[in-house]
Chains A and B, each alone.
Chain A
């Protein structure tokens, strides 16, 4: 009996066609999403919100509330939250953004000065760096960014917000329909799957659904944990210097935690931002900068060994080299989109590839599908003299 058990093919992913398909599919999707970014962004955000809100609706249903009523309760609560946020948080945020825009040229100039001093110090200590023209080269790049991109950013920020506002207004609309008709849509897609592949495809949908649910939920909690750790750390480090208020430290923590969504590269960028902020406020305090670096290294270790295994997990089982290569390739093809979406898309395509391999390389399932087609043909031509 045991010899007759046909297990699914766990080595399906090792087939080169599948591997090429997984990588090609991931990169192709990044390019496509970048091209239709105006529609893709609200769609992706709606999917993220769907996975974050769905457990809440399930909890309400668990308490005996009908699905439609659970959705109504959620809509009322979300609307109330939006009204409260727009009355309290939004004005403060807009004020901060406008202040930031006004101060940006000055900030960039100060940052450039600090960098220049720092590089000159390095050259004074290490003659080899002077020979290589380290200060000159880096200074030219920093000046280029400060004068070019930095000021350009200030002017474009308002335009950027206006460009994306209509697109972002689609998010609650799409999320509502995903939540209301998600199950019916799921059934509609599965109806198109041939009988022979039906069970396996359903298994694929279930795995993908669980993976995406786990990923988004995990990322949410990882961001919360990173924000709290970094925010508290920065607040404590800046206590003696009077750099951060508690709110500002938490905001900077949140920004760095969002950057940390991009594996490996994101933490470094987040750390650089925090160092720049500290350098601006306390330029002659290398101990503080060193402490910030240590804080980010510590949070990275916490992420690696404690937070990530406890939240997102290590479901992808990707080699770090493949991960970094995919992130950079994603960044090259799709900019910020590519950086952020490379890993989730790679995860989805890995599961798709694995399941496709299991279905496609199963000769029995293909034979059953062919048999069904033959039966259908025979039935259609039953009364014809062929």
Chain B
């Protein structure tokens, strides 16, 4: 009896020292490709630079050709990316929780390459280029980590794209 009481005291003592559990939404953010290297403390810092947005099924997040200002990280729900084709819209695929879209705009203001629509009620975090610049000013280490991960993600996407195109004129 005494031992059990002692055990329960020990458990509650350690649980008191343990930090509170990480926000589940931040857990999802931490699992995305561009934030996967961030530790708990860095994710808590990132929260100050993220904007939570709620989308209804069928709502457009951004249009193809629109000036891009930042990246979106899917926390829950499902998004669909499409691109204008010669005759009809080309489906680029679904974007699920733990994935991100629009990351090119995090480095440069460029027109969006696709239209993204919420397929069901969804939640996404948005982070903007100006905020990444501010983050890099205040926390250069964290800013560098994020920028490197964005570059890696883009390079892997470019690699996948080039694998499908054997025409050397793409590189020139």
Contact = CB atoms under 8 A, between A and B. Distances in A.
Interface of A: 4-8, 58, 61-62, 67, 183-184, 187, 190-191, 195-196, 198-199, 202-203, 206, 364, 368, 371-372, 375-376, 379
Q: Do most interface residues of chain A lie in helix, strand or loop, or is the interface mixed?
A: helix
Contact of B63 (A8, A58, A61, A364): A364
Contacts of B128: 199, 202, 206
A7 B59 contact: no
A372 B117 CA distance: 12
B66 A6 contact: yes
B70 interface: yes
B51 A199 contact: no
B62 interface: yes
Contacts, number: 70
A187 B51 contact: yes
Nearest to B136: A62
Nearest to A7: B67
Given A5-B65, A191-B51, A61 B59 contact: no
Q: Specify which of A6, A58, A364, A376 lies most central, judged by the most chain B CB atoms within 10 Å of its CB.
A: A6
A21 to B, nearest CB: 23
Given A183-B48, A375-B58, A376-B56, A198 B63 contact: no
A5 B65 CA distance: 4
Contact of B60 (A4, A67, A206, A371): A371
B110 to A, nearest CB: 9
Nearest 7 A/B pairs, CB to CB: A206-B130, A4-B65, A61-B138, A375-B56, A5-B111, A199-B69, A183-B48
Q: For chain B, which range describes its interface: under 10, 10 to 19, 20 to 34, or 35 or more residues?
A: 20 to 34
17 contacts: A6-B63, A58-B138, A61-B138, A62-B140, A183-B49, A187-B48, A191-B52, A195-B53, A195-B61, A198-B53, A199-B126, A202-B69, A202-B70, A202-B128, A203-B130, A368-B60, A371-B60
Nearest to A368: B60
Nearest to B48: A183
Interface in B57-90: 57-67, 69-70, 84
Interface in B140-155: 140
Given A4-B84, A5-B111, A58-B137, A190 B61 contact: no
Interface of B: 48-49, 51-53, 55-67, 69-70, 84, 111, 126, 128, 130, 137-140
A203 B69 contact: yes
A168 B76 CA distance: 48
Contacts of B57: 375
A62 B56 contact: no
Nearest to A375: B56
A224 B67 CA distance: 40
A187 B139 CA distance: 19
Contacts of B139: 61-62
Given A199-B126, A206-B128, 10 more contacts: A5-B65, A6-B67, A58-B138, A62-B137, A62-B138, A62-B140, A191-B51, A195-B53, A196-B60, A203-B130
Contacts of A376: 56
Contact of A198 (B48, B67, B84, B126): B126
Contacts of A58: 137-138
A4 B64 CA distance: 8
A322 B103 CA distance: 42
